[in-house]
Amino acid sequence: MSLVKVKNKFQVTIPNEIRQQAHIKEGDILEVVFKDKAIVFRPKVVLDRESVEASVAEGLKDLEDGRVFGPFDSVNEFKAAISKK
């Protein structure tokens, strides 16, 4: 068990062992919730809306232009298809 001290402005330092186990790096975004009498930190990924919209638009254009293949009935079938490319 690790103990931390609440500091000025209610800041806490996540112990190194916990950060390593959770794969938390400097700059990561964490969601904080209070659940069942516990404070829970959950790593989150923040996506830029414009980048996501551009990626979706590109994927839809590929689909429209026939630059897709599949569906596949198995992982092996998929692997065989991409190894031909």
Q: pLDDT tens digits for the chain (85 residues)?
A: 889 999 999 999 999 999 999 999 999 999 999 999 999 999 999 999 999 999 999 999 999 998 888 899 999 999 998 887 6
Q: Determine the straight-line distance between the first and last CA of the chain, rounded to whole angstroms.
A: 51
- Per this entry, what is the length of the chain? 85
8 Å CB contact between 72 and 78: yes
CATH of 8-44, one of 1.10.1740, 2.10.260, 2.60.40, 2.60.120: 2.10.260
The residue written with tokens 């659940």 in the block is 35
The CA distance from 72 to 81, in Å, is: 9
Q: What is the pTM of this model?
A: 0.55
Query: Where exactly are the structural domains of the chain?
Result: 8-44, 49-83
